[in-house]
Structure 1
Amino acid sequence: MHVEMLMFLLLMTDATCISVSGCHTSFSAAYQGHVTDCQRQHLTQVPSDLPKDIVGLDLQDNLLTRISNNSFSTFSNLRFLYLSANPLHTLQRDAFKGLGKLEVLEMSCDTLSLGTTTYPDGLFQYLVSLRQLVLLGSINNEGQFPIDIVQGLKRLEELRINSWPKDGKWPQLEQLKDTLTLLNINTIGIPVLGNTTFQALRDIPLKILNFNGVVRNIEAGAFCPFKNLTNLLIGLSHGSTTKFVSITRALQCLAGRHMEEIILTRVVTTGETSVTLTEEMFGYLADICVKKLDVSHNKITRVDDNAITNSTFVRCIEYLDLSRNLLNGKLLPAAKNMYMMENLKYLDLSRGTNLIFSLSNKYNTTKRGGVYFPIPPNLSYLNLSRSASANHVRISLTLTQSDHLSVLDFSRNYLLDIPSYLECCKNLKLLDISHMKISQNVFNNTNMVTNLETLLVHDVTSDEDMFVSPSEPFFHVMPKLTRLDLSGNNLQLINKNTLRNFNKLENLSLARNRLDNVPEEILMMARLKHLDMTSNSLSVISKQQQTMLDDFVVNNGSFHLYLTGNIFSCSCGTLHFIQWLLETDVTLDHHGNYSCILGDGTLSDTATFYASGTFQWRTCVGQFWLAAAIVGNLIALLSLLVAFLFKKYFPKIEHRVLHMLGYNPRRRPQREDFDYDAYICYESAEYHWPCHCLFKELPKVSPGIRLYLPDLHDPVGCSRAEVTIDALSRSWKIVIVLTENFLRDEWIHFTVLSTVRLMSVNNAITDRVLLLYRDMSLEARARVPHLLLNVVSEEHILDVEEHPQFWTHLCQRILNADPAALF
C-alpha cells in the first residue's frame, strides 16, 4: 500500500509540481521537456528548489535586482530562459555559466541600459548554443556600447537590442558572419543614418532588419552593406524629420535584390505635412523585386499620374498597403495604370478619408454611363474600407480583369451605390459592406453575389426597413453563401422570404438586434451550424423551436447557439425552456447559463432556477390546480345562477329568443318617422354661420327641409341635457360643425358623447353623423376625438366651401335613405 502511494505521488509530481517558491512545473510538448513558470511570484533571487532537468524557466515580472555568478549552473539542460520585466541592475560576469545548451535568452528590463558597465566583457561567453538574444532596456546615450556582448555566441541567429554603435564599427560581429539573420534595433539612437552606419554588417548574411528611432535623415548609401536582405522594416519615432524621398533614395542600394517585404509604416512624422508619391520615388524602387510594400500611415495625399511605370518593382509587387493615408480623388489618374502590376494580389486603400469613386467622363465612357477601369489581373483582395467617409461611394464603372478578385471590402463608407449593370467580380468570395447606408437594390447585381461565400452586412442603415419589405426579398440568390452577418442592424422583424435563397448557409449572426423570437425560416436551413442571437430581446424559445434546434444536432452532428445578452424569463411558463437549456445537445455559449427575470421581478440566472427545479415545479403545479379549483367553483356557482334566472325569467327569455329567430320583425326606419331631418350641433360662440348661412342655404336647395338648431328650437325652462338627447333621438341625421375651439364647449362635448352613445346602442345605425370642418387648422383636426371619427365614414367628413355645389352635396347626404333610427 505504501509503495503504491509513493508511485502515485511520483507520477503526480512528474505531471505538475509546485515548489516552495510558488513556481509551477509541467511537461510541455512545445518545449519538448519540463518547463517551470515562476511569473509574478515576487522573487528576489533565482529559486534553488526547482527540478534540475527543466528545459525552460520563466522568471518574468518578479523582483530580481541582480543575477549572481552561477545562478543557473544546476540547470544544465536549460534551453529557454526568460528574465524580462525585472528591476535588474547588476549582472555578474559568470551569471550564465553552465548554460551551454541555452538557445533563447530574453532580458527586456527598463533598468538595464546597453553599456559596458551593465554588460561586463564575456558575460555571454558560456552560451555557445544561443540562437536568440533579446536585450531591450533603457536607452544609453552616453555610455560606451558593449561590443563584446556577442563574444562566444557562435550560433546566434536573432539579436534584438537597444541602440547601435555611433561610429558603425562592431568588429566582433565577424564571429556571426555565418549565422546572424535577424537584427532588431528597437531605438537606433543615431540621428543621421549614413553610408558607414551599418558597415559592421557588410559581411553578415542578414536577411531581416528592423529598426526604429528618431532620425533626421537617411543618406543614399545607408542600406548598401546588406547583400542578403529580404525583409526591411523601418518605423521612425515621433519627432523624426526624415523626408519620404530620402528613404526611397536610400532603398536604391537594394537594386537587383529579390526581397520579401519593405515596411515603411509611420516613417513620416513631423518632417512633412503631406507626401506625394512621385515618379522619382518609384524610379529609386524600379529595379527592386519586392513582394510586399507597406507605406501605410504616412500622410500620402496623391500619386503622380506617371509614377506607376512598367518596371521590375511593378511586375514583382504582390502586396501593396496604402491605408491610413490622406489619399484623395487625385489617386485615380495614377490608379488607372495599376493594371501593370501583373502579380499584385493584395491592395489596401482603406482609411483614405478623401477618396472619391465617382469618376468623371474624361475617360473612356461606356454606353451605360460607367467607366472601363482595368485592375491588376491577379488581384484577389481589395480593401476600400473607410476610404470615402464623407462621400458617396458610387461604383459607376466596369472593373475589367477582375476574375481573380475574391475579397472586396467597402465597409465604413457613407453610402454605397452599385448599379445592376456592374460587370465585375464574378468569382467574389467575401463582400463586406458593413457600417454603411445601403438601399434596397444593393444586391441587384447578380454578377457579384453568385459565388459569394461570406457576406458581412452588419451595422448598416437604410431609408426604409429593407429586411421586412413585403414585395421582394432583400437578398437575391446566393447559392454558395456559407456565412452571413446581419448583426447590429436594429432588426425587430425579418420577412419570411428574406433568407429563402440560402441553401448552404452554415454561419448566421443576428447579434445586437431587437428580435424577440428566433425566425422559423432560419430553423429550416438544413446546413446551419452556428447561429448567433446574442444581445437581442429573446425571453423564451418555444418547444417547437427547441425540437428544431435539437434536429440540427442529429442531422449535422453539432450545432452552436449563442444567446448571451438576452434577458430570459424564469417562470412557470418557461420551465420547459430552462430545462432544455441545461439538457440539450446543442452547444450553447456560457454553458447554457443566462440572465433571467423571476416572477417577482428580481434578476437571477437560468442555472440557479434549474437547480431549484423541483421546488419550482411544485409551485407551478400548485398554482395550476388552485386556479383550476377556483374556476371549477365559479363555473358551478354560475350554473346555479343561470338555472335560477332561467326559471324565474323564462317568459322574457322566450320572448327574446323568438325575436332573434325572426318572429315579429321590426320595420326599417324611414326619414318620415323623424320630426327633424337634421340636428345641427355647433359651438354656441360660433352660432353666426349655422344660423345665418347654413339655416338659410339648405332650404334653398331643398325647400321644406326640417332643421333643428338649439338656439332656435330648444324650449326654455327645461333640462338642457334631456332636451339635447330628445332632439338627437328625433332627428334623422346629425350635422356637427367643427371649428377651431369646438371641444372647449362643455355642452358640445356632452352632445358628441350622447351622439356616440346613441350610435353604439343600436348597431343597425349607419351613416347617421356628418362632420363639417370649418376653418380648422391641422393641429385642431388632430384633436378631433377618435370616438367620434369611429362612427363617421370618410365620405361624411366634409370641408365647408362657399359654393352652390357644396350645399347641394350636403343636402343630398342629409336626405339620403340610409337607415338612421334610434330606439
Structure 2
Amino acid sequence: MDCSHMQLISLSDVDISDVTALDLSNNQLSEWRSGSLSDLSSLRHLNLGRNDLQKLDQHAFQGLKELETLDLSYNNLTALTRRTFANLPHLQRLLLDHNQVTTLGTDVFESLTHLRHLDLGHNHLQVLYNNTFSSLAHLNWLGLGSNRLQRLEAGAMTGLDRLINLDLSDNKLQLTSSVYPARVFASLGQLQLLHLEYNDDDPNGEYPDNVFSDLVSLTLLSIDTFNEVHFGRDFAALRNIHTLDLSKNCQIYRVLNTSFEGFKNSTLSFINFQYCSLQIIETCAFCELPALDRLWFMYSHFQTPNHILESMYGLQHQTMTEIKLHSIGDYLPFFHVIDSHSARFLRNICVKDVTMSSCNIQRIAGNALTVKNTPFFRCLEHADLSMNAILGDQSTLGKMIMSDGPLQSLALQDQQTFTITGAQCLVSQDFRCKEYFRYNSYDENTYTLGFQTPVNITFLNLSSLFLHLHPLPVNWTFPSAKHLKMLDLSYLGFGNCRMTFYGLENLETLSLNGNYCYNMTEKVFDFLDSLKKLSLSNLGFNPQFLKSHGWRLFQNVDQLQFLDLSRNELPFTDPDMLRVQRHLKELDFSDNRLQKVPVNLGNHGDLRMLDLSHNSLSTLTSSERSALDSLAGRQAFSLKLEGNPLECTCFNLDMVQWLWHTPVSLDGEGRQANYTCTTETGEVTSTERVMAQWMSHWRRCVGVQMFGIALSALLLQLLAIVVTFIVVRSWTQLCYAWKAIRRYRLPRRHHFHRDAYVVYSEAERDVILACVTLREAVEERYGVRLLLRDREELPGSVRAENVVQHIDDSWKVVLLVTRDFSQDEWACGFTVQQAQRSITDTMPDRVIIVFLEEPRVLPAMPSLQLLLRMVPERNILHVHRDTPPQHQVWKTLADLITIEH
C-alpha cells in the first residue's frame, strides 16, 4: 500500500487495512508510538524513510512478527534502545542510514538474529565498541560509511562470521595500530569486499601489522595510500584477492619494486591507479604479480606514458586483458613520443585491450607497436589511441587500420590536428567557411580507393583524425570489412560527398557529421543494407537536395532506426523521403530552420523520439498533433520543441492547450512542459502562464472572432442585395455572357493540323534550307509536323488563300529571314502581315523568327520591323546558314514550336 508523499503527520490521517507492504515515506511523521501497527500481523515490508522521526518508543514495532524489511533512513533518529527492535524476529533488512545516531549499545541488535543487511551509513558514530554486532550471525552486508568513526575496539567485529561486504569508507580511521587493534578482523573469514577509502590523509603513513592477515577470502580491497606504498607480509594471506583499488584518495608518489611483494602468491588481477599523482614507477614494480590481468593508469597528469610503459618490464610474456592509460602527462608542457625503446616491453605482452588516450602523444614511431609476430601484435583486439595530438609519423596508425591481426575495434578520433580556426569551422554551422574544403580535380569515373581493414574489425572511429581528407574517391571499397558494425568518419574535412560505399553490407552505424556535403550524391548509401544508425549532422546540405532527392538518398537503408539530420540549416524537406524506413525509433531535426514537421508521421509507427528543438516552428497543425498523439498511444514517445518561436495567439490557443494535455512526453520532462511563446502584440510570455489565465485569453479571442463573424455576416447580406439588384437589371446580358464563357476555350497544339507553317522566299537556296536542312533537323529528329509550301501546295493554286489557310491550320508560324526573303514581295509583305494578324491575346507566342543573316546587314523591312515589336525576344533565333542538323540550336527551335504555355 502506497501512502507516500501525502504530508501525513500521524497514522490517524490514513485508513490502513490488512496489507503485507506499507510505504509511508516522504511524509511528516515525527513520532512512532508503541504498537502503532500492531494489527498488521501479516506486514512484511515497512518504509518509514524520509520523515521527521526523532525517536522510537520501546516496543515501537510490537506485533509485526512477520516483518522482513524496515526502512528508517533519512530521519532524525539520535539513539536506538535495546527494546526498539525486540519484536522483529524475522527482520532481514534494516536501513538506518542518513540519521543522527551517535552511539550503538551492545544490545541494540540482540534480537535480530536473522538480519542479513544493515545500513548505518551517514550517521554520527565515533567508536565501534566490542560485541556491538555479536548477535548478527547471519549478517552479509554492513554499511558504516560516512560516519565519524575514529577507532575500532578489538572485538568490534565479533560475531560477524558470515559477513561478505563491509563498508568503512569516508570516516576518520587512520591506518595505525591504535585505530585498528591487532586481529580486529579475526572473525571476518568470509569477508569478500572491504572498503576503507577516504579515511587516512597522512601522506607519510604505513599499513599496520597483524590487521589484514585474517581476511583470507577477500577479493576486493579499496584502501587509502601514502606517498610510498608497501603491501608487506600482513597482506600475504590475501591469496584470493582479485581487485586492488587505490583510486580513492590516492596519494602515491612512488611505486617501488617491493611495493606489491605481499601479493606475490595471490591471484591479484586488477590494480586501479586512477587519480594517483604518480611521479616514479620503478622498473620491476609488477614483477611479483604473475596473475595481473588488468592495469589502469588514469588522470596521472604529471606522469609520462613512456615511464609507465617502461615499468611493464615485469609483465613481459604475460597474457593480459587490459592496459589502460588515460590522461597521462596531459598537464606537462611538452608532447610525448612513443618510440621503439619505450614500447619494447609492451610489445612482449599478449594484451587484448590497450588504451592510450588523452596522453598528449604527438608521434608513435612506425615500429613501436606494429611489429609483426610480437605478442602484442598477435593478441591486440581493442585499441584506443584517441584524443592525442599525433601529427608526425602516422604510419603506425595506417598499419593498425590496415593490419591483418585480430584487431576488432580501433579508436583514433580527435587527434587535435586542426587549427583553432579550422576546428571552429568544422563544428560551426557557418558553411561558407567550409567552401575551401571543396576539391573536384579528379576523374569521377576512375578514382577509387580500396580501404583494407583487419578481417575481424567491428568498430572503427576516425573522427577528426586528419585535417583535410581530399581529394575524395568516388568509390570507397572495403574488401575485408565484412564484420564492421560501426564506422565514424566525422569531422574529416571532406571536400565533397560524391562517393559510394562498397563492401559494408553489415555496417550498422555510420557517422559523417561535420563534413561538407553540399553536393552529396544520392547513391552514397545504396549498398549499406544493414544500416541502423546514421548521423548526418552539420553537413551543409543544398537546401533543395533533401526536398528533391531525399527519397532516393534513403531508399535502400530501410532498416534505419536512428537518423540525425540536425544543424543543417534545412528550411524544408520532402515529407515522404523516409517512407520506407518503417523501423525508425529516433529522428533528430534539431537546429535547422523548419517551419513544420518535416516527415509524414503516419509512416513511422515505431517512432519513440522526435527532436525538433531550435527550429522555426510557430505552431503544430491539428493533423500533426493528432499524429503525435497517435504515436504516444502506441508506446512511450517524446517530442522536443525547446527553442522554437511558438505563438500564443488566438489562432494558436488550441495548440497551447494541446501542450498541456497531450500524452506526449515533451522535452524529456513528461507532460505539461513550459515553453516561451509570443502573443499577437509581440509580448513574450509562456504556455504555463497562458494556461493559468486561460479564461481571460479565451474570452478575448472569442470576442474578436464573434465580432469578425458578425461583420462578415453583415457584409454578406449587403453583397447579396447588390448582386440581386445587378442580376435583375442585367439578366439578358448575363445569360448571353455565360453562354459565351461556356463556348470559350484556350487553343492547344492538338487543335491544329500542323505544328508550324514555315515561311521562306522562292530563292533556290532558301527552298533547300527549308525543305532539306530544316526538315531533317526539326521534323525527322524531333517529330515536329512542318507545313512546307513546296511540299504541300499544288501548282496553279491561289497563293493568298493558301497563305491564310496554312496559318489557320498551324500551331506556330516560322519565318526564315534572309536577304532573298527581304526582296520577296509575298514572303516579306503579304505573308508577314498575315503572321502579324495571327498573334492574339490567347496565342502571344505564335510567331518565331529565325535570322539566317546578321540583321544589321539586311535591308530595311518595315512590315518585319512592326512584327518584331510583337514577338518576344525568346522567339527570335540567330542561326548560321551552314549549321548542321545535329546542332543544339535546332533542338531549341523544336522546343519553341512544341511548347504550350
What is the TM-score when the length of structure 1 is the normalising length?
0.67
Structure 1 residues 146 and 393: alpha-carbon distance in aligned structure 2, compared to 1, 3 A threshold: farther
Shift of 1:350: 1.2
For 1:454-533, what aligned pairs fall within 5 Å after superposition? Answer: 454-462=533-541, 466-468=545-547, 474-475=553-554, 477-496=556-575, 498-525=577-604, 527-533=606-612
Whole-Å separation in 2 of the counterparts to 1:538 and 1:350 = 35
- Aligned residue in 2 for 1:603: 685
1:439 deviates by: 3.1
Q: Distance in 2 between matches of 1:290 and 1:656?
A: 97
* 3-state secondary structure, aligned to 2:357: coil
Which residue number in structure 2 is paired with residue 318 of structure 1?
381
1:450–1:155 Cα change, 3 Å: same
Secondary structure, aligned partner of 1:593 = coil
Q: Deviation string for 1:473-530 (max 9, x for gaps)?
A: 5545312222112233333311346434534433322234332322353433455444
- Does the alignment pair 1:15 with 2:92? no
Q: Residues 568 and 594 of structure 1 are in contact (CA less than 8 Å); yes or no, is this contact kept in structure 2?
A: no
Matched, 1:328 2:391: yes
Is 1:204 paired with 2:275? no
Q: Which residue is 2:790 aligned to?
A: none
Q: Which residue of 2 aligns with 1:360?
A: none
Give the counterpart of 1:102 among 163, 167, 173.
Answer: 163
Deviations 1:373-422 (A, max 9, x none): 4321111101122323x434665575442222110112244436555265
Pick closer, same or farther for the CA change 1:454–1:100 going to 2, 3 Å. same
Sort the Cα spacing of 1:548 and 1:254 in 2 relative to 1 into closer, same or farther, 3 A.
Answer: same
Paired with 1:489 and 1:419, the residues of 2 have a C-alpha distance of 18
- How big is the shift at 1:559? 5.9
CA distance in 1, matches of 2:383, 2:39: 59
Q: Are the counterparts in 2 of residues 77 and 101 from structure 1 also a CA contact under 8 Å? A: yes
1:267 is matched with 328
Alignment check: 8 A CA contact 2:302 2:328 kept: no
Q: Secondary structure of 1:386's match? A: coil
TM-aligned CA deviation for residue 319 of structure 1: 0.7
Decide whether the 8 Å contact of 1:428 with 1:448 is kept in 2: no
Question: Does structure 2 conserve the Cα–Cα contact (< 8 Å) formed by 1:564 and 1:594?
Answer: no
Give the secondary structure class of the aligned counterpart of 1:133.
strand
Q: 2:468 aligns with which of 357, 369, 391?
A: 391
1:381 aligns with 2:459: yes
Which residue does the alignment assign to 1:629? 710
Separation in 2 of the partners of 1:568 and 1:660? 48
Give the AA of the match of 1:220.
Answer: T
SS in 1 for 2:513: coil
Equivalent residue in structure 1 for 2:531, among 417, 435, 452: 452
Among 290, 295, 319, the residue aligned to 1:227: 290
Q: Which runs of 5+ in 1 are unaligned?
A: 357-364, 663-763, 766-803
Residue among 93, 106, 109 paired with 1:34: 93
Quote the offset at 1:325 in angstroms. 1.2
Letter in 2 for 1:139: D
- 2:543–2:570 CA contact under 8 A, matched in 1: no
The 5 Å alignment of 1:415-426 reads: 415=494, 417=496, 420=499, 423-426=502-505
The answer on whether the counterparts of 1:278 and 1:303 sit within 8 Å (CA) in structure 2 is yes
What is the DSSP-based 3-state SS (H/G/I as helix, E as strand, rest coil) of the residue aligned with 1:109? coil
Counterpart amino acid of residue 528 in structure 2: V
Conserved in 2, the CA contact under 8 Å of 1:220 and 1:249? yes
Q: Residue 431 of structure 1: CA displacement? A: 0.6
Code of the aligned partner of 1:226: L
Partner of 2:257: 195
The structure-2 alpha-carbon separation of the partners of 1:165 and 1:155, relative to structure 1 and needing over 3 Å to count, comes to farther
The 3 A distance-change label for structure 1 pair 460 and 171 is same
- Give the Å deviation of 1:214: 3.4
2:207 pairs with 1:150: no
Counterpart amino acid of 1:558?
Q
* Matched-pair contact (CA < 8 Å) for 2:609–2:637: yes
Alignment of 1:538-577 (within 5 A): 538-549=617-628, 552=631, 557-558=634-635, 560-565=637-642, 566=644, 568-569=646-647, 573-574=651-652, 577=655
Q: Secondary structure at the match of 1:249?
A: helix
Query: Structure 2 vs 1, CA of residues 245 and 14 (structure 1 numbering), >3 Å: closer, same or farther?
Result: closer
Measured against aligned partners, the alpha-carbon deviations of 1:346-377 in whole angstroms (never above 9, x if no partner) come to 10101112399xxxxxxxx9994555443211
For residues 218 and 234 of structure 1, the distance between their equivalents in structure 2, rounded to whole angstroms, comes to 12
> How many angstroms apart in 1 are the aligned matches of 2:307 and 2:16?
77
Mark the runs of 5 or more structure 2 residues left unpaired by the alignment.
1-14, 19-35, 57-68, 74-90, 420-442, 741-839, 842-855, 872-901
Offset at residue 207 of structure 1 (A): 1.3
Question: How far apart are the structure 1 equivalents of 2:586 and 2:331?
Answer: 46
Q: Which moved more, 1:529-538 or 1:125-134?
A: 529-538
Deviations along 1:159-200, one digit per CA (max 9) or x if unpaired, are 1112269584521223222x2111122366554433322211
The answer to whether 1:128 aligns with 2:189 is yes
Assess if the C-alpha contact under 8 Å between 1:425 and 1:447 holds in 2.
no
**Is the partner of 2:296 in helix, strand or coil?**
strand
Per the TM alignment, residue 49 of structure 1 is displaced from its structure 2 partner at its CA by: 8.3
Equivalent position of 2:894 in the other structure: none
**Range with greater deviation from structure 2 (524-533 or 375-384):** 524-533
1:258 corresponding residue in structure 2: 319
Q: Secondary structure at the match of 1:562?
A: strand
Q: How much does 1:233 deviate?
A: 1.6
- Tell whether the 8 Å contact from 2:72 to 2:97 is kept in structure 1 after alignment: no
> Does the residue aligned with 1:302 lie in a helix, a strand or coil?
strand
Give the Å deviation of 1:660. 12
CA contact under 8 A between 1:459 and 1:488: conserved in structure 2? yes
What are the equivalent positions in structure 2 for 1:757-772 lying under 5 Å apart?
none
Alpha-carbon distance between aligned partners in 1 of 2:624 and 2:542, rounded to the nearest angstrom: 32
Q: Are the equivalent residues in 2 in contact too, given 1:285–1:313 (CA < 8 A)?
A: yes
Matches within 5 A, 1:666-681: none
Within a 5 Å distance, the mapping from 1:589-738 to structure 2 comes to 589-595=668-674, 597=677, 601=683, 603-605=685-687, 609=691, 624-636=705-717
User: How far apart are residue 119 of structure 1 and its match?
Assistant: 3.1
Q: Is the 8 A contact 2:231 2:263 kept in 1?
A: no
The count of residues paired between Structure 1 and Structure 2 equals 658
Taking the aligned partners of 2:384 and 2:533, their CA distance within structure 1 comes to 23
Cα 1:592–1:570 change in 2 (3 A) is farther
Render the CA deviation track for 1:772-820: whole Å, top value 9, x for unaligned: xxxxxxxxxxxxxxxxxxxxxxxxxxxxxxxx99xx99xx99998779x
User: How far apart, in 1, do the equivalents of 2:626 and 2:288 lie?
Assistant: 70
Alpha-carbon distance in structure 2 between the residues aligned to 1:280 and 1:385: 29
State whether residues 520 and 545 of structure 1, in contact with CA within 8 Å, keep that contact through their aligned partners in structure 2. Answer: no
Distance 1:536 1:8, change over 3 A: farther
How many angstroms does 1:661 deviate by? 12
Deviations, residues 317-361 of structure 1 (Å, cap 9, x unaligned): 1111111111125213662365445211110101112399xxxxx
Residue type at the aligned position of 2:223: I
Q: 1:291 to 1:607 in 2, by over 3 A?
A: farther
Distance (whole Å) between structure 1 residues aligned to residue 699 and residue 43 of structure 2? 47
- On the 8 A contact 1:38/1:59 being kept in 2, the answer is yes
AA of the residue aligned to 1:292 = D
Match of 1:173 in 2: 235
